[in-house]
Structures are given as structure tokens and as C-alpha cells.
Amino acid sequence: MDLATIIGIVVGTFLILSAIMSSSTLAVFIHVPSIMIVAGGTLAGTLIHFPLARVLSVIGVIKNTIMHKAPSIQEEIDRIVSYASLARKEGMLALEAKLEDNPDPFLAKGIRMVIDGLPKETISDIMRIELDYVDFRHKIGKQMLEYMGSAAPAFGMVGTLIGLVAMLQTLDDPSQIGGGMAVALLTSFYGALSSNLLFIPLAGKLGTRSKEEMMIREIMAEGVVAIQAGDPPLTVEEKLKSFVSASTRARMDVKS
């Protein structure tokens, strides 16, 4: 679980609610028609903009953004180096016993192709295709959250215009002005809040997660190809460490 995301949402919500409660009551800021305009408009726009299957997966996208924990780069490099050492000492078939213990299906698939004796070019092509698909899927999820982040304030403005029109039509009856003003102001509030506290930050976090996962999978793909080529474990380790910064390599060398 990503504690930073949870803490950010909780702290942001708490501070906003505290500010509301210090100057007014929470009930004043709860207006169902305004919520319907922002939530319904954002959902409708998203359904028009993206395929239904992608929209239905948005909950899973948000869940992965919050719950997913990227594996340690050092752990993955150490795992691949141990596979290279085992393959060099006992042969490729010895890797069969490691497949059940491998938590990552992408790496397990690559090792399976090595065991099956596929040529290096074929393994590299297959893993590259899968990497491209993962990258595409992540980009779609990020684009969807970014669209929702831009759509929510826009529909908040639509609600503001609706509220202003309703208010102007009731200027001769002061008792009706409050309802129009509530819609006019609260829809903009809901749109800005949901956009800046949820959708845009989650899109940014998903982009960061995607880059982390893609780098780790690049390391896995390069490691699998190196194992298939029969590279010595030390060579495999140095190849994989080239994916990380010098400071990270220094920390890894200290730990090892």
C-alpha cells in the first residue's frame, strides 16, 4: 500500500473539512444537485471519451495506484543474478524449480522461454511486445484520470452557469435566490476539489508508478536475455546495474 497517497487524501480532506467547520457548518456544503452535475457530467464525458471497458476499469486503476507496491530493484537484480548463477552451474533446466517461487509473472514467463530453449531474438521480441502493451495500458489509465481531472472543473462551471441562470430568473423573489447561488458556487467547489485532490494527483502517481514498473520490467527483460546468452553472473549483475543511477548502485554495493 502506498501510504503517501492515503496520507495525502486524508490530510487534504481533514484540512478542508476543518476550514469549513471553522467558518460554517458541513450541511451548508452538501448540495445533491451540485454533486449530480459534477459527478454525472464527469462520468458522462468519460464514457463518451473512452471505451466502456476502460471506464469500467477505472476503479481497478485507482486501486492499483493506491495499493500497488513496486518491488525493490535490488531484490529483482539479486533474484536474476541468482538465476544466472544457477543456470551456469546446473544448466537451464535447473531454473524450473524457481518458477513456482517467482512472484512476477512477467519474469516467470521469460524464464520459461529460456527453459524451453527459445532463441534470444525471439525472447527479446516477445518480452518487448508485452512491455509495450503494459506501457500502453498504463498510459490509457493515466489519460483517463487526467481527463476526469479536467472534466470535473468544467462541469463545475456548467453548474455555475445553471445556478446563475436560475438565480437571475428569481431576482423578483429574494427567497429563491439562495438555491441558485448554492448551485452556482458549490458545483465549482466540487469540481475543483475532486480535480485537485483526487484525479490530477492520482494521474501523476500512476505516471510515476508506471515509470517505476517499466524500468523494473526492462531490467527483467535484459536479465532474461543475458541468462539465455549464458553470460556470467557478474556480467549479468553489471548489465542490470547500468539501469540505475550511480548513487543507487553505490547503495546496492554497500548492501551487498
For 161-203, write each residue's pLDDT tens digit: 888 887 887 777 777 666 667 778 889 999 999 999 999 999 9
pLDDT for the residue 243:
84
Domain check: are 135 and 14 in the same one? no
| SS3 call for 245 | coil
DSSP secondary structure, 34-83, as one string: HHHHHHHHHHHHHHHHS-HHHHHTHHHHHHHHHH--PPPHHHHHHHHHHH
Q: Are 122 and 23 in a shared domain?
A: no
137 close to 164: Cβ distance less than 8 angstroms: no
Residues 93 and 213 in one domain: yes
Q: What sign has the CA pseudo-torsion 237, 242, 243, 244?
A: positive
- Domain range enclosing 1: 1-30
Tell whether 91 and 11 lie within a shared domain. no
Q: Answer yes or no: do 197 and 91 share one domain.
A: yes
Give me the tens of pLDDT residue by residue for the chain, a chain 256 residues long: 678 888 898 999 999 999 988 887 888 888 888 899 999 999 999 999 999 888 888 777 777 777 766 667 888 898 899 999 998 888 888 888 877 776 788 888 999 999 988 988 899 999 999 999 888 888 888 999 999 999 999 999 998 888 888 788 777 777 766 666 777 888 999 999 999 999 999 999 888 888 888 889 999 999 999 999 888 988 998 889 888 777 767 666 655 5
Is 2 in the same domain as 81?
no
Specify whether 132 is located in the same domain as 189. Answer: yes
In this structure, the answer to whether residues 8 and 95 fall within a common structural domain is no
Q: According to the model, what pLDDT value does residue 46 have? A: 93
169 and 242 inside one domain: yes
What one-character DSSP code corresponds to residue 229?
A: T
13 and 37 both lie in a single domain: no
How many structural domains are present in the chain? 2
If asked whether residues 3 and 121 sit together in one domain, one would say: no
Whole-prediction pTM value?
0.80
Task: Check whether residue 109 and residue 16 sit in a common domain.
Answer: no
